[in-house]
Amino acid sequence: MIPRVSPTGFTALMQSFGSAGHWQRRLFSPVDASSLAVFRIVFGLLMVWETWRIIDKGWVERHFSGKEFYFTYWPLDFLRPWPGDGMYLHLALMGVFAGFIALGFLYRVSAACFFLMFAYVFLLEKARYLNHFYLVCLLSALLAVLPAHRQWSIDSLLWPALRSPAVPAWSVWLLRFQIAVPMFFAGLAKLNGDWLQGEPLRMWLAARPDFPWLGPYFQDEAVVWAMVYGALAIDLLFIGYITNRRTRVFGFGLVVLFHFLNARLFNIGIFPWLMIAATPVFFAPDWPRRVWDDIRGRSAWRAGRLAAGVAVGATAGYLVPEQPHLMTLLCGALGVGLFAWHLDEPFRRSAAAHPGVEQEGYRGPEPSDWTLQRGFVAALLAAWVAVQVMLPLRHYAIPGNVHWTEEGRDFSWHMKLRDKESSASFEVAAGDGTKVVQPEEHLTAWQVPKMASRPEMVLQYARYLERLSREQGEGDVEVRAHVFSALNGRPPQRLVDETVDLTTVGRPWWGHASWVLPLQTPLRADEDGEAGQDTTPTRTLPP
C-alpha cells in the first residue's frame, strides 16, 4: 500500500528541495571566465614543457623501449609502448595538443586527446607512478569538459557564439576542488607516526648540507621540527586559509614559498610549478581583468606592487631550480606577482564582480532555469567529488601500515612520506630442482628497487617467472620471494612471506593480502628493543 502524503508534508518536502535549489542556483550562477582562461593557458604551456622534458630526459629509451617486462595496471595489462619511433610521434602529437589547449584552438577535442595520450603514457609502467602525473590526468580530463575557451582563445575568435565573459560557477569550483584535493590529502597522510616523529624528512635534510643558505641548519632539530609541522599545517589547513578572503593572500604566499622549497629540495618534476600556477584559481574569478585594469593605469600603486612581485618571482624561478627554464620563470613571476598584487585584499571591502561581465553580457540561461540537463551535470559533479574523496581514504579500511604494505597507497596523494630501501630474490622450484632468480635478469636497474618495495609488483613479477618457466617447458612451478625492506631508517625485515608459493595467491580486490608480512620494527629502538630513542639504526639489506 502506497502511503498518502499530506499537503503539509508535501510542503516540507518541497522546502527541502528548495534548499537544494539554492545550491543549484549557486552552481550555475555566472562568474567571470578570465581566471579559467588563464589556467587553461598556463596549464597548456606547462604540458608543452613537460612533453619536451620526457623526450629530453631520455624517458623513451629508459622507460618505454627495450624492456622485457612492464608492470601494468589491471585491467589495462595489454597496454604496451608503440614500436619503433611510435613513442616519439605520440609525444610530439601530445605536445601539439597541449599547445592547442594553451591557444584555445579546437579546445575540447585537444583537451580530450591530450588527456587520452597522457593517460596512456602514465598507465604504461606502474613502476613509474608519479602523483603529479596522476594530477595532470585528472586536470586534463576536467579541462575537456570545462568551458575554459570562452575567453582569450582562438575558438572564441573563429566561432563568436562561443565567446562569453562568464562561465557557470561550478566550473571554477570544480577546478578549485581538484587542486585542493592533493593538498588536503597530502596533509591528512602526514598524520602518521613516522612523519610526526620527523621521518623520513630528517634523513633527507641531513643528506643535503649543500642546500643553498639553509643546508648548514638542516641538522638542527628545531629546523627539522619546524619543517615537519610547517609542511603538515600548510597541507592540512589549505582549504581553510585559501578560501577565506582575509587569510587567502598570506596562505597563498606560504604555498608559493613551500613549493619553491620543494622544487629545490626534492626531484619532483613540474609538480611545484604546476601547483604555483594552479592555486591562483582560488582568488576572485575576475582577478585577471582587474590586474589588466591596473596595468592600464587604474591603480599605479597596485601595478607597482605587481611589477615588483613579478621581478622577484622571475628571479626566484631562475635561482630556485637546479635547471631553470622559461616556464619556471613564468610560474615564479605569476605566483609572487599575484601575491604582491593581492596584499591589500584582506584590508579592503569585498569588490563587486568586474563590470566587464555585465558590459559584455552573459550568454546562457538564467541560473534559476533548472533543466534536466543541469540536473545531470549536478549528478556528475557529485559523482566526481565522491570518487576523489573516497579513493584517497580507502587505505584506512585496510589493516597495516600503508607505507609498508603499499595497499591503497597509489592515487591517495601520499607524497614524500617514506624512504624505502628494498632487495629481492626469487626461488623457482620445478620438478628437476630449484633455481634462484635475480630480478636483474629480466628487469631494468630502475625497475628492480621499485618492484622490491611493492608487494603487488612482487606478485606480478612472480607470475611472469611462472609464465616464463611454462614457455621454457618446465611445466608447473612454484615461485617464492625473499624480499627485505627498510622503511624510514628502520632495520630491514621481510616484506613477503617466503614460505608462500606466489603462483597460488591473488591480489585481493579489497583488504590485506595475507602473504604480505606486517611491519613489526619500531621506528627507533634502544638496545632493549624499546621505542623512543632518537637514533637512526644502520640499515644493511640482505644480499
Cβ-in-10-Å burial (0-12, 13-18, 19+) of 390 comes to: exposed
Query: At 526, is the pLDDT very low, low, confident or very high (cuts 50, 70, 90)?
Result: very low
Higher pLDDT, 364 or 505: 505
C-alpha cell belonging to residue 403:
607505507
The pLDDT value recorded for residue 362 is 53
Instruction: Please say if the pLDDT value at position 492 is more than 80.
Output: yes
Residue 475 is predicted with a pLDDT of 83
Q: In sequence order, what are the residues at sequence separation of 6 or more whose Cβ sits closer than 8 angstroms to the Cβ of residue 472?
A: none
* 331: number of Cβ within 10 Å: 31
* Helix ranges (DSSP H) in 342-477: 355-360, 372-390, 402-405, 447-453, 455-471
pLDDT value at residue 542: 55
What DSSP string runs through 237-288? Answer: THHHHHS-TTTHHHHHHHHHHHHHHHHHHS--TTHHHHHHHHGGGGS-TTHH
Look up residue 134 and give its amino acid.
Answer: Y
Position 89 pLDDT exceeds 90: yes
Q: Which of 210-219, 227-236, 292-301 has the highest mean pLDDT?
A: 227-236
Bridge partners, residue 479, by sequence: 428
Helix or strand (DSSP H, E) at 484: strand 478-487
Residue 415 is placed in which grid cell? 607524497
What's the whole-number average pLDDT of the chain?
89
Q: Which triple of cell numbers denotes residue 383? A: 559523482
User: Cα separation of 277 and 271, whole Å?
Assistant: 10
> Where residue 25 falls among pLDDT bands split at 50, 70, 90?
confident
Q: Given this model, what pLDDT does residue 20 score?
A: 57
Report residue 532's pLDDT band, with 50, 70 and 90 as the boundaries.
very low
Residue 487, C-alpha cell as written in the block: 622503511
Banded model confidence at residue 348, pLDDT cuts 50, 70, 90: confident
User: Is a pLDDT exceeding 60 seen at residue 369?
Assistant: no
Could you tell me which of 155, 186, 151, 156 has the C-alpha nearest to residue 172? 151
Is the pLDDT at 7 greater than 80? The verdict is no
Q: How confident is the model at residue 376 (pLDDT cuts 50, 70, 90)?
A: confident
Picking from 195, 223, 194, the residue whose alpha carbon sits closest to that of residue 208 is 223
Q: Residue 366 above 70 pLDDT?
A: no
Q: How confident is the model at residue 355 (pLDDT cuts 50, 70, 90)?
A: low
Q: What is the pLDDT of residue 473?
A: 84
C-alpha 304, offset from chain centre: 34
Residue 99 has pLDDT above 80, yes or no: yes
Lowest-confidence range among 350-359, 408-417, 522-531?
Answer: 522-531
Q: Compute how many other C-beta atoms are within 10 angstroms of the C-beta atom of residue 437.
A: 19
- Residue 449's alpha-carbon distances to 54, 105, 196, 458, in angstroms, are 21, 43, 26, 11
- Start-to-end Cα distance in the chain: 73
Do the strands 493-494 and 420-430 form a parallel or antiparallel pair, or are they unpaired?
unpaired
Q: Which H or E run includes 146?
A: none
493, 485 contact by CB (below 8 A): yes
CA distance 155 to 28: 23
299 three-class SS: coil
Q: Each residue of 253-302: pLDDT tens digit?
A: 999 999 999 999 998 899 999 999 999 999 999 999 999 999 998 788 89
Mean pLDDT of 314-318: 97
Lowest mean pLDDT among 82-91, 160-169, 351-360: 351-360
Higher pLDDT, residue 2 or 432: 432
H or E stretch covering 517: none
Rounded to two decimals, what is the model's pTM? Answer: 0.90
CA distance 472 to 245: 67
Instruction: Tell me, letter by letter, the H, E, C secondary structure of 102-130.
Output: HHCCCHHHHHHHHHHHHHHHHHCCHHHCC
Q: Per DSSP, what are the bridge partners of residue 434?
A: 429
Q: Quick check: 286 and 353 in contact, CB under 8 A?
A: yes
| Look-up of cell digits 589495462 | 76
Please tell me which residue, 252 or 473, carries the higher pLDDT value.
Answer: 252
Q: Which residue has the higher pLDDT, 12 or 414?
A: 414
Which string of b and e fits 402-411 if b means at least 16 CB within 10 Å? Answer: bbbbbbbbbb
* DSSP secondary structure of 39-105: HHHHHHHHHHHHHHHHHHTTHHHHHSSS-S-----TT-TT--PPTTTHHHHHHHHHHHHHHHHHHTS
Q: All 3 cell numbers of residue 430?
A: 620445478
Per the model's pLDDT, the better-predicted residue between 1 and 414 turns out to be 414
CA distance 199 to 398: 23
Spatial CA neighbour of 130 closest among 227, 279, 274, 322: 274
Which band of pLDDT confidence, cut at 50, 70 and 90, is reported for residue 358?
A: low
- Classify 185 as helix, strand or coil: helix
